[in-house]
Structure 1
């Protein structure tokens, strides 16, 4: 199996932009000014960050896009994170970038080069504005690819990419970022006679408050079916030499700072606790995690179809917190 996934500073720039917006800086809901009337007709309505939103998903039935959208929202809403709304401008931006990846050999990257085929903008923000999204807003995203020597259904490909992102230590934000809008793009090429998929998500419109009672987590109490093993992420999660186990995201509000102190994972059926690797903005060697999000993860794979008890402690803005819950892995490799 060949599986490709990539994250970069650009992929996580949304986190920094949202933190700036929460402090009164750039990003947020700012939009372009209305065009002055010249007397020939009414002034066009001002475009906003929600322009292009649709109340009901417009993705085709049984498509990769709909499968990824539904799975992400299922997990996000179960754990208390904002539901994602489809935005057609972000869809176009994401589709353009997925096609760019396919046109340029399938190598996964978050940025584009103006000299390459299919170029529509260097960054996620550039591509969103090019597709019609309001300028001045914060836009981020993730990109990834998937290949296996079999032909899967469109739904299977869409769900697999979603599981890939959710099981990445640096990609898990797709389930835990405080955003409310998404655009989804998938492209398909052929490698050794089988489909190779390139995919992109574009995110925007931050929710400044997602919790009033301390940090929330993904997975959370009762979550089931998440990947028990994952690999192929760039950058490589610290202290891993091969595949790792299910990561756990701990997230607060945009202005929060989370520091992890301890985290263990214990099979419910019995066994010794596993001490998890702790990663937050203070100790992240890649400087990609925002202050409001931390991740705890086992540095080796877990077991499939197994229930685990989680115990996490840390501080949020200097105040101690703890979280205890149980989740169950599926028979999925991310």
Structure 2
């Protein structure tokens, strides 16, 4: 059966922002909530952001599909109602419309089984959702699929608990879906079935293959991400379910290459390296392919290079690959630039440290990982201080007012003493 499914869920920031006022030996702790989203706007923004990346890569942009949008919205609402982050639904729970993505698409009026799904939960907006999914390699490959040409986006958020949110992206192939509307093939010759809502519906093999390839020929032969000249690239990769790097909780942002199977029948990758700045020494990294992907999700046309340490902020990197194509070695080199902090960046390198901050000025506090498992957990801080996550190792402290005093910030084994001066 031609069912294209990527059943995985990106994990959002693991920490919780807690603030407390101190009363003698007792501590009053309150969970800080995030602002409510304009759901309609964020859905539109999410769709646009995915297409912006595809367009920058020279890929075909995705068309909106009402059935896929309806399926995506119903699943987003299901996730929020049931506080779930799964690609599957459980019959009998509120909002159930189908166990698997293609079944939910059927329920919404889609006819083809060729449905792929990406989703994220606990996001504050579309950008954090899309950025997180592009950092999660299996989900990235879903967005960069050369065989899709349409998409629907759904988003939902619980009114009384704004952290309980979900974005869902359903993707498909319009040509395959259109074939499922035509009369079933009754002639002689090879045919395909189990590809439409009616499992016995038949499609002539040649027509099926043509529909499968309908968008592939429009896409580049080789798709490189981050793309040439991309800026604002997140420096870190955290965890994904399933996890492509299970022995690391924090590593560098993965660099990937996808070979378009319309042009490549087989791929022989000779080398794949990443360099920081003008250095000629490769960044220590792990190369994943179909042969060593721990979860068996990569195709033989997909490769990803995972730096074993976070990348540096505001830094230019050069990626380089070489491969064999039609008997000849081909080399490609491209550059990207990591995210630039919007305010002064302070490095925290010890388990316990003391820093001095100026009142009225915003800062980014970067807790440099001591190993591949060192991330921030719940953050405890005074209630008059405004702190937000940038990522699982970086916090933003908003400008402090006149009444702000020295304070201590705690997270797991980390303790940071902050002196506030004028």
Mapping of 1:220-299 within 5 angstroms? 220-238=227-245, 240-255=247-262, 256=264, 257-268=266-277, 270=279, 272-299=281-308
Q: When you count strand as a share of all residues, which structure comes out higher?
A: 2
With over 3 angstroms needed to count, the CA separation of the structure-2 counterparts of 1:144 and 1:280, relative to structure 1, is: same
Is 2:156 the counterpart of 1:187? yes
Mapping of 1:2-17 within 5 angstroms? 10-11=5-6
Q: How many residues align?
A: 268
Higher deviation after alignment, 158-167 or 281-290 = 281-290
- Say whether the 8 Å CA contact 1:258–1:293 is kept in structure 2: no
* Structure 2: unaligned runs, 5 residues or longer: 9-37, 174-211, 341-389, 393-422
Which structure has the larger Rg? Answer: 2
| Larger RCO (CA within 8 A; separation ≥ 6) | 1
Deviation at 1:90, TM superposition (A): 0.6
Mapping of 1:185-224 within 5 angstroms? 185-189=154-158, 194-205=162-173, 207-211=215-219, 214-224=221-231
- Say whether the 8 Å CA contact 1:247–1:297 is kept in structure 2: yes
Q: Distance in 2 between matches of 1:94 and 1:202?
A: 6
Deviation at 1:259, TM superposition (A): 4.6
With over 3 angstroms needed to count, the CA separation of the structure-2 counterparts of 1:100 and 1:61, relative to structure 1, is: closer
With over 3 angstroms needed to count, the CA separation of the structure-2 counterparts of 1:62 and 1:330, relative to structure 1, is: farther
Q: Distance in 1 between matches of 2:247 and 2:47?
A: 29
Q: Distance in 1 between matches of 2:5 and 2:57?
A: 26
With over 3 angstroms needed to count, the CA separation of the structure-2 counterparts of 1:239 and 1:116, relative to structure 1, is: closer
Q: Any idea what SS the aligned residue of 1:63 has? A: helix
Aligned to 2:65: 87
What do the CA deviations read for 1:239-282 (whole angstroms, capped 9, x no partner)? 64112222222112235444544322112254742143212222
Q: Distance in 2 between matches of 1:115 and 1:228?
A: 42
Higher deviation after alignment, 236-245 or 82-91 = 236-245
Q: Distance in 2 between matches of 1:90 and 1:158?
A: 18
- Say whether the 8 Å CA contact 1:188–1:198 is kept in structure 2: yes
With over 3 angstroms needed to count, the CA separation of the structure-2 counterparts of 1:61 and 1:197, relative to structure 1, is: closer
What do the CA deviations read for 1:27-86 (whole angstroms, capped 9, x no partner)? xxxxxxxxxxxxxxxxxxxxxxxxxxxxxxxxx997111221222111111112221111
Deviation at 1:108, TM superposition (A): 0.7
Instruction: Return the match for 2:321 from 312, 317, 332.
Output: 312
- Say whether the 8 Å CA contact 2:284–2:308 is kept in structure 1: no
- Say whether the 8 Å CA contact 2:43–2:153 is kept in structure 1: yes
Instruction: Return the match for 1:103 from 81, 91, 114.
Output: 81
* Structure 1: unaligned runs, 5 residues or longer: 1-8, 14-59
- Say whether the 8 Å CA contact 1:228–1:333 is kept in structure 2: no
Aligned to 2:185: none
Question: With structure 1 as the length reference, what TM-score do the two structures score?
Answer: 0.72
Mapping of 1:39-188 within 5 angstroms? 63-105=41-83, 107-133=84-110, 135-147=111-123, 157-178=125-146, 179-188=148-157
